[in-house]
Structure formats: structure tokens, C-alpha cells
Structure 1
Amino acid sequence: MRKSVMITLIGLLGLLTLLLLWFVVRELLEKRALEQPADARMLFIGNSFTENNELDQLVAQLASELGPEWNDIFATRVAAGGYKLVEHLGNVENSEANPPLRQLLVTGSEAARSWDLIVIQEQSQIPGFGRQAAESEESFAAAPQLHRYASDTGATVMMLQTWGHAEGDPRNASIFPDYLTMQNRLAQGTRDLAAQMSASGSQVFVIPAGRGFQLVYQDVLNNDENPLAEGSFFRRLFAEDGRHPSLSGSYLAACIIVAAYTGQPVTEIDWQPREIDTTMAAYLRRVADRVVFGAEFAPQDYPWSS
């Protein structure tokens, strides 16, 4: 009996040892991956709008198609559903728990904290609420502090402008009654937020991803079609909930990010996820170039234009 118990204990001890070894090896591999050198190192900070469809990896793949100087792209993200800038700031300043974002911006090795581009995304409604809203007050207070941590790494910092919900936001119908109203409020709010961040340090550039959705919306209208109709190019940018991006929506956002950051057109890139048909993908790349390089919206600064 004692021998059987001893054998069982030895087996459990061996299993625990293997598990511990696995965790140690995994941590070392993850740390090494985060420290890897590359032609460009990119960090994305956001919520489910960034997490869904792995926006960072779409950007990395697209950028790697630009030419030999962009062959080696390392991109990673810190994103959780519903997260706000104030919550990300709390993680950066949490010295006791030292969560991943703090490690990537403050306490990690010099290699792990070396970034060329940091993309910051606020929760998808807050920029459109207006400065008088409590959530906006928090956002405008937290954003410059988060910017300081990001810019201290030496990175170019860009703010991702998200998109209005396909049918507006029924939970906030008085200010977001429809798509276009919500889109315009988000665009203005994101510009204001980026200006607030820039006032306390280096310039923060806006990535006008939401304007790409708007161009698709307008193109559908110009074809005398209903943008909200099932199967329209506009509706295909959204997941079923009408808020989060579909893979096509994330692809459009990624194309705009690449063009806005690099200053290089993406129309001629010949890559898209296999789930997106070539006609749709080619159209979305053209839309991205119209947003960044065209004259359909007011001109704005980019890292390569200022």
C-alpha cells in the first residue's frame, strides 16, 4: 500500500516538474520572440476591434509585401474586449503585477521595448460621445499619459480611428442615430484625442480607418444600392453584430494602416486572406489609397508628410 502511494506521489511530482519546465520554456520562448529584431517592430494597443481577425498580423503581412526593406515585420498586440485607454494606462502603471503592456513599454529588456510603430485604439464609442461625457473625460485624461509611455520607446505613435456601427448605436440613439452621424462624430473625436496627446509630447498621427468604411458606404449609395442590404460591399465590412469588423473590414483597416504609416500605396499589393475574394480585396486596397492619398477628405498629417 505504502509502495503504491509512493509511486503515485513520485508520478505526480514528475508531472508537476514537467509542467513547471513547460511554463519556464514557454516564457523564455515568448520573451525571445518579443525581443526579436526586425525591419519594423509594431505594437497594437486596443480592444476587440484590434483583437478580432488579428489586425496586427494582417498589417504585418501587408507591409511585408511592400518591398525588400519591409521583408521582416514583427507585430504583436495587447487587446481585450471592451478595453478603454484608461484601463490600458492602469496596466502600464501597475508595478505590482507588471502585466504584459507594462513589460512592453516600461520594464522589459531594451530589445523588448524597442518599437517603430505603436498603434493605439480607444473603445469604439467613446471618441464620439463628446468632451462632456464622463467616459470622454477619463479618456482625455488617460491618453496623454499613455502617449508618454509609448513615445518614450522611440516609436511613431498613431491613433486608430474606428468606424461607426452599420446602423448607428441604438444604446446611444440620441447621438449615434445612424452610421454616418456616428462616423463623423468618431472622426472628430479621434482628431481631438490625438491633438490632446500631441500637445503633451511628440505628434500623434490619426489612422483614418473609419473613413475607409465611409467611402465604401458612399460608393454603394452612388451605385443606387442600399449600403445596409445583406451582401452589399459596405455590410460585408461588418460581423453579424454590425459593430465589429468582419475579416474584410479588418483587411480594409490594415490596408489603411500600412498606407498611412509607410506612405506607400497598397493598390498593387497582391495578397489577401484566402477568405476574401480577389475582387473585393482589390477594391478595398483602392479604397485605402483613396483615403490616404486622395482628396475626398480634408488633408491630414502622416509620419511621412510632416
Structure 2
Amino acid sequence: MRSLLLALVSTLLVACTTAQAKPTNEGASTAPPEPKQPAISHLESSTPTRILFVGNSYFYYNDSLHNHVRRMTIAAGIAENDDLIFKSATIGGAALRDHAIDHLLDAQNLRVDAPFQIVIMQGGSAEPLSTTGRARFTATAAAYAAKARASGVQPMLYMTPAYVPPHQRYRPDMINDIASLYVETGNAVDALVIPVGLAFAEAYRRRPDIELHKSFDGSHPSMLGTYLAAATTFASVYSVSPVGNSYDYFGVVGTEDARFLQDVAHDTVTAFYGRDSQR
């Protein structure tokens, strides 16, 4: 199973790179470019307790991503309830540049006494699909990452999932555009990338019938999609496997689905970062 996922991640990252490269000479024979790999595989802080999520409706659907990550962290025994401060700042339909990052990075503006340790930043779902959107996202991520570090906060980037039918802009290879943008930007700004988009792709590969998106738009996450995103975020932040985590959103996520999504999150994260695969 792990070898199949490694092949998927490698194929996606190769495609992400080659999709951006255009031959300068039609008749020339050139070696394929090296696939882009994430340069950052671990956070500086192994057990952050103060995390800021900055994104849009992909975060706030289904009782908000930050709540699920927080509960998984408690269930894993990493920290107690009173020790965790997770805040979420979201704007529906927002691109990354729409957020007032200076205001948000000042923790006291969100009634938090101590500075945040991590900021998880999510771009708009359509930003990877155009040259203009990609350039704006990269420029904004670079500026916001610099501001975060100046405030003592480590930046992270949240790779969004691709659209699925019935979304009008659905394309089977959309994940290539997303992954390439986030990996290249993460490497450029020294930010850890959370491979949620790759986890969705892997879950659909293993179980094509699973519904990780809302059926009415093919864009927003379903409850299972948010659970997978939370498990992937949890594993990325803490370098701890989500497999066996008891959190199931108070019985809403079934045992079989929870274990399947935990497995996908674990396998995706370990393959993406090249981490130890021990569960």
C-alpha cells in the first residue's frame, strides 16, 4: 500500500513540475526535470499549542477545521484542553491576500495573551488555475510568511483539494496545478506544506465511491472531507500518526470511515515528507 502511495506522490510531483516546463526547442532532446519535493518536513516546534488558521469556507465548513484538529490533539494526549488555543480567521470565498495578516498575527487582537506559534495559511481554491492567481498567491505567501516570522510565528501552507464533479471547473489533473503551486511556494518561503489536496486524491484513488466533497458543488468539504483534512493537518503539525486516534466527532464519523481516513492521512503525510512510516 505504501509503495502505491509513494508512486502516486512521485507521479503527482513530477507532473506538477513538468506541467510548468515548456520546451524551448521542439526538436531538442532534454532530460525530464527533477520533481519538486517539499524542502521543509518538520516544524521547529514539535508540540505547538497556539495555532492560528487563516483561510475561507474550506476551513469553517462542518464545525470548523481548527476544532477537529484541536480535538484530535487532545485525544492523542499531546496536550490538555486548557493548554490549547486554536483560533480560526476565515472569509467566505477569500484568496490569501484578502486577509489583514498584520492584525491577525497580533494575538492580543484575538484575545490571546501569548503570541501564536504557528499560522496555517490557505489560498483560494481557484488561485492555482491561472498565471495571475498563482503569482498573487506566491507573492502574498512570501509577504505573509515574512511578517509571521517577524512576529515569532512559523508559517505553514494548507494545500487545498481539487474540485470534483459537478463543479464547472473540474479537471482530472487539477491537483497537479495545486500541488505544484503549494510545493514551489512552500520551498521558496521556507514553509511547511500540509498535503491535504494529495490526501483527498489518494482517498478517492482507494475508494472512488467515498464522498469527501459536498455533492451540490464539488468544491466544499463534506464531513468526511473535513475529517480527512483534520487528520492530515494533525499529522503534519505534530509528526504523530493519526491512526488509532479515538476522535470521531462524537460518533458522527463511523469507525470504518475514521480508520480509513486516518490511514490515508498517515500514508500521505509520511510519503510526502519522507518521514518514518511507523504508526
The normalised TM-score by structure 2 is: 0.73
CA distance in 1, matches of 2:228, 2:200: 8
Specify the alignment match of 1:205 in structure 2.
192
Specify the alignment match of 2:171 in structure 1.
177
Match of 1:73 among 75, 84, 93: 84
Matched-pair contact (CA < 8 Å) for 1:191–1:206: yes
Matched-pair contact (CA < 8 Å) for 1:58–1:254: yes
**Displacement, 1:109?**
8.9
Matched-pair contact (CA < 8 Å) for 1:255–1:288: yes
The percent of aligned pairs where both chains have the same amino acid is 25
Q: Which deviates further from its counterpart, 187-196 or 54-63?
A: 187-196
Specify the alignment match of 1:118 in structure 2.
119
**Displacement, 1:136?**
2.2
CA distance in 2, matches of 1:43, 1:255: 17
* 1:45 corresponds to 2:21: no
Count of residues paired in the alignment: 226
Match of 1:262 among 228, 238, 255: 238
Structure 1, gaps ≥5 residues long: 1-37, 94-101, 221-226
CA distance in 2, matches of 1:62, 1:108: 26
CA distance in 2, matches of 1:128, 1:157: 23
**Structure 1 pair 110–149 and aligned structure 2 pair: CA distance change class (3 A):** farther
The C-alpha deviation readout for 1:73-127, integer Å capped at 9, x for no partner, is: 2111111111111111xx235xxxxxxxx05437749954611221000001212
* 1:160 corresponds to 2:135: no
Matched-pair contact (CA < 8 Å) for 1:169–1:177: no
**Structure 1 pair 136–76 and aligned structure 2 pair: CA distance change class (3 A):** same
Matched-pair contact (CA < 8 Å) for 1:211–1:291: yes
CA distance in 1, matches of 2:108, 2:247: 36
**Displacement, 1:300?**
5.5
Specify the alignment match of 2:106 in structure 1.
105
The normalised TM-score by structure 1 is: 0.67
**Structure 1 pair 262–279 and aligned structure 2 pair: CA distance change class (3 A):** same
Specify the alignment match of 2:8 in structure 1.
none
Specify the alignment match of 1:5 in structure 2.
none
Matched-pair contact (CA < 8 Å) for 2:134–2:181: no
Specify the alignment match of 1:190 in structure 2.
182
- Matching residue's letter, 1:283: F
Q: Secondary structure at the match of 2:236?
A: helix
Matched-pair contact (CA < 8 Å) for 2:49–2:84: yes
The C-alpha deviation readout for 1:145-200, integer Å capped at 9, x for no partner, is: 111222223223210001111138534xxxx522xx0112111111122223x2xx
Matched-pair contact (CA < 8 Å) for 1:252–1:284: yes
**Displacement, 1:263?**
0.7
Matches within 5 A, 1:198-277: 198=189, 203-220=190-207, 227=208, 232-233=209-210, 236-240=211-215, 241-273=217-249, 274-277=251-254
Specify the alignment match of 1:290 in structure 2.
267
CA distance in 2, matches of 1:277, 1:187: 29
CA distance in 1, matches of 2:141, 2:72: 28
